[in-house]
Amino acid sequence: MEFPKIFDDEFYIKCINLATSSKGNERYGSILVLDSKIIGEGYNRAIVHPALEKLERRIRQGMANHAEIEALNDALFKGNKTENSDVYVAGYFPNSKRLFFKTEYTCVKCLPHLRNYEISNIYVPTPGGWIKKDLNEAYEEAKKFVNGTHQKRLEAMRGEFYISQLNL
Ligand SMILES: [Zn+2]
């Protein structure tokens, strides 16, 4: 499937290429980068099986591994040190043929893990290029997300487990 590139960047193209291996309606690729070198890579793994079709969407989502965690696990399995590395995440929605981009990072599922492994920054794609967030900034944004208008939706989608991980 051909997608328009929103910006020409080696890491962005790498993330999108990884995302094409994903099977779900939301496809993300992610890499861990240290000193300009890719030390881990992954894509989100939605579980696609007819038996699971009957389950609620939020339950299926909870069962999926996010691309960021797959990239982190890949780096760890390869024996790479993750301290001070940066996470890049990008993706697309195949049904609507839209690219994923946003100016804030609010993934409360991955944030605690990225902090545990001392990731420095998260790069999020926008039409103009990557936006860099340090972990503290990302936490502040996630708190606003959790405390704000999205709270009910977030609770419904992800349950209290992820929210409590943030120690809000
Ligand atoms: Zn995530």
Q: How far is the CA of 63 from the centre of ligand 1 (A)?
A: 12
Q: Token pair 């860099």 is at which residue?
A: 132
Over the stretch 38-90, which tens digit does the pLDDT of each residue have?
999 999 987 666 777 777 766 666 667 899 999 999 999 999 999 999 999 99
Q: Superfamily assignment of 10-165 in CATH?
A: Cytidine Deaminase, domain 2 (3.40.140.10)
H-assigned helices in 38-88:
57-63, 67-77
Q: How far is the CA of 2 from the centre of ligand 1 (A)?
A: 25
Q: How far is the CA of 54 from the centre of ligand 1 (A)?
A: 24
Over the stretch 96-112, which tens digit does the pLDDT of each residue have?
777 887 777 878 788 88
The number of C-alpha atoms within 13 Å of 100 and in the hemisphere containing its C-beta is 23
Q: How far is the CA of 81 from the centre of ligand 1 (A)?
A: 20
What residue segments make up the domains of the chain, in order of their start?
10-165
Please give the model's pTM, rounded to 2 decimal places. 0.80
